């Protein structure tokens, strides 16, 4: 279960492209072959600063095939910045609780880094 949640968190790619408060609802789902496995839907509120850094957090609703749905807490901190007019970079650290516990040893952590080139 932890690996499925971690995969869903890592697949999420969402960072606002403006400064100020924002709301973000995002759902990531996975299948094994043609069978639904798990989805994680995050309902976040957050804030992006003028310098490109942002944070967001809120509940995460987990649906796994054959298992009663559950909820956890999730959050992300990250950065989006332009290197040139056509080239930007981004990075994010995300976390989701296990059994709604905030103990560091029990958090599912994920990272994401990338480069975007606009043609």
pLDDT digits over 29-69, tens only?
A: 999 999 999 999 999 999 999 999 999 999 999 999 999 99
For 26, the enclosing helix (H) or strand (E) is strand 20-32
Query: In what order do the strands lie in the sheet containing 35-48?
Result: 20-32, 35-48, 53-64, 67-82, 87-96, 108-117
pTM of the model: 0.76
More confident residue, 7 or 110: 110
Kind plus residue range of the DSSP H or E element containing 20: strand 20-32
Predicted local confidence at residue 77, as pLDDT: 98
Domain count, the chain: 1
pLDDT given at position 6 = 47
Domain at 111, CATH number: 2.40.160
Provide the residue range defining the domain that includes 113. Answer: 2-117
The answer to whether 53 and 76 are in contact (CB under 8 A) is: no
Measured between alpha carbons, how far is 95 from 102 in angstroms, rounded to an integer?
A: 10
């Amino acid at each position: 279960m932890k690996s499925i949640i971690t995969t869903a968190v890592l697949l999420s790619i969402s960072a606002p492209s403006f400064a100020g408060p924002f709301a973000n609802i995002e759902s990531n789902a996975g299948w094994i072959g043609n069978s639904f496995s798990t989805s994680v839907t995050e309902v976040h509120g957050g804030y992006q600063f003028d310098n490109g850094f942002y944070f967001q957090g809120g509940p995460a609703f987990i649906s796994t095939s054959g298992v009663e749905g559950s909820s956890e807490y999730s959050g992300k901190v990250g950065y989006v910045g332009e290197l040139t007019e056509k080239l930007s970079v981004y990075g994010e650290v995300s976390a989701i609780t296990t059994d709604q516990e905030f103990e560091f040893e029990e958090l599912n952590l994920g990272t994401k880094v990338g480069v975007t080139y606009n043609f």
